Amino acid sequence: MSDKDKPQKNTEETTPNPTFDYDAIVIGTGPGGEGAAMGLAKTGKSVAVVERHSAVGGGCTHWGTIPSKALRQSVSQLIHFNTNPLFSESGREKHFTFPQILKHAEGVIRQQTRLRAGFYDRNRVQLIKGEASFVDKHTLCITYPDGSTQNITAQTIVIATGSRPYRPTDVDFTSGRVYDSDTILSLKHDPRSIIIYGAGVIGSEYASIFRGLGVKVDLINTRERLLSFLDNEVSDALSYHLTNSGTVIRNGEEYESIKASNDGVILHTKSGKRFKADCLLFANGRTGNTDKLNLSAIGLKADGRGQVKVDENYRTAIDNIYAVGDVIGYPSLASAAYDQGRIAANYIVSGEVQSKLIADIPTGIYTIPEISSVGKTEQELTAAKIPYEVGKAQFKHLARAQIANSTIGGLKLLFHPDTKEILGIHCFGTAASEIVHIGQAIMQQQGPANTVEYFVNTTFNYPTMAEAYRVAALNGLNRLF
């Protein structure tokens, strides 16, 4: 790589630092890296971001959140078409292959990449394409795609390298039959059957996607129930609807061996069961992307899952090095990662905490049907001996749901019987991840403003899905005595 192709510090509208090339370098351009870079650049800091892939956006844009949700949207529309009497009078169902519906996802990825690249350009953030590793606490060695290297320095460095699917050493991912949640996007054939090992969020979402395409699905769950962090009633509803769609769920199972052959893959469980399918998706855990950072050069150590420990300000054990996003573990959400990056940037600039991550982070799970929740579950409130009442609304009773032929699921409100304070919101069905934010806004209010009575006293558009809040609130209040 010639000198003119290597990054040159842009000092326009920034304060030059005579000691370092940049005020800050961010490693990674996913949501966490973007939040940190934008937060720092907006204050006039000279900032560079290092991205090892050909385009910005990180795993969220290219392999995780965006493609899987785009796939899910296409499959949801296909299911709606095939089950709506208005379109299915001929009795012939439409069928699309997995590679065909991937085309929609590819279009969304391109749009998101262009959009996010524009953010860095407009804010004069230097984008460096290469692999970063530490030389010392202020110096990074950048290895460019052509193999050449260059050292760059900064006062502050933010690690936002994200995570990747966990790959056990005894599973052969090179056979063309075994995939992880990244490589599944390169699936070229149209499988008739698939084994999904791991029934967490990713596994459950892909089970919905493949089953919606008419693929036979065996979902192997290493736990005793699906998504056990959810409210039990919602978890049970998901199990019912996956099973009702034809997915076979095997709870409490662990693999003994996974063997691929020319005509498929066979999974043996420790309990003695055998499963065979055209291919297998291994979706059981993720690992932080820290193995190539040379953390030992700065005296920093990742744990067994490749994650870095940070304090409440996202600073690591090294005073000028911060970490945000999946690389620090929980909650491992794109939405939270962006906020972590922004909060870390605020602290780097001001040296004090101006904001912090909210306590009740909403969860969105894009299965079919969709799931979203915020706050406490019934089992958590019971374990904590906090009294609560329940208000429910079933979507099948809402005019808007009937009009849209989206009557599966409903909304559940948990609230304190004395103060009427909202303690938890759980939604299952169409647009759940959108609907939950209405209740979240009220939950975040302080004092009397946060009560379930708000939903009774306000006026909702009619017909809407949001009207479920009024129905659920009245249902719950009518239970009080």
Measure Cα distances from 290 to 138, 144, 364 in Å. 17, 18, 27
Q: What is the mean pLDDT of residues 92-99?
A: 80
Query: How far is the C-alpha of 428 from the C-alpha of 231, rounded, in Å?
Result: 11
Domains within the chain, CATH numbers bracketed: 3-61+103-165+287-350 (3.50.50.60), 178-284 (3.50.50.60), 369-477 (3.30.390.30)
51 is in an annotated binding site: yes
Task: Identify which of 155, 160, 140 has the alpha carbon closest to the alpha carbon of residue 56.
Answer: 160
Q: Is pLDDT larger for residue 8 or for residue 458?
A: 458
58 is in an annotated binding site: yes
57 is in an annotated binding site: yes
Q: What is the pTM of this model?
A: 0.92
Contact (CB, 8 A) for 126 and 22: yes
Averaged pLDDT score across all residues of the chain: 93
Q: Using one digit for the tens of pLDDT, what is the confidence trace for 123-135?
A: 999 999 999 999 9
274 is in an annotated binding site: no
Residue 5 pLDDT: 45
In terms of DSSP H, where are the helices of 377-429? 378-383, 399-404
53 is in an annotated binding site: yes
135 is in an annotated binding site: no
State yes or no: pLDDT of 87 exceeds 80: no
Q: What is the mean pLDDT of residues 137-153?
A: 96
Q: What is the mean pLDDT of residues 297-323?
A: 96
Contact (CB, 8 A) for 89 and 81: no
Q: What is the mean pLDDT of residues 51-61?
A: 93
Q: Tell me which DSSP letter residue 92 carries.
A: P
59 is in an annotated binding site: yes
Edge to edge, the sheet with strand 422-429 lists: 363-365, 371-375, 422-429, 409-415, 389-394
State yes or no: pLDDT of 315 exceeds 50: yes
Identify the band that residue 10 occupies on the pLDDT scale cut at 50, 70 and 90. very low
Residue recorded with tokens 């009294």: 387
Query: How far is the C-alpha of 159 from the C-alpha of 24, rounded, in Å?
Result: 11
Q: Using one digit for the tens of pLDDT, what is the confidence trace for 195-220?
A: 999 999 999 999 999 999 999 999 99
State yes or no: pLDDT of 449 exceeds 60: yes
142-156 residues labelled b (16+ CB within 10 A) or e (exposed): beeeeeeeeebbbbb
162 is in an annotated binding site: no
Return the structure tokens found at 469. Answer: 């809040």
Task: Supply the angle between the helices 201-212 and 65-83 in degrees, to the nearest 10.
Answer: 40
State yes or no: pLDDT of 63 exceeds 70: yes
In sequence order, what are the residues at sequence separation of 6 or more whose Cβ sits closer than 8 angstroms to the Cβ of residue 269?
Answer: 220, 250, 253, 254, 255, 256, 275
Q: Using one digit for the tens of pLDDT, what is the confidence trace for 162-198?
A: 999 999 999 999 999 999 999 999 898 889 999 999 9
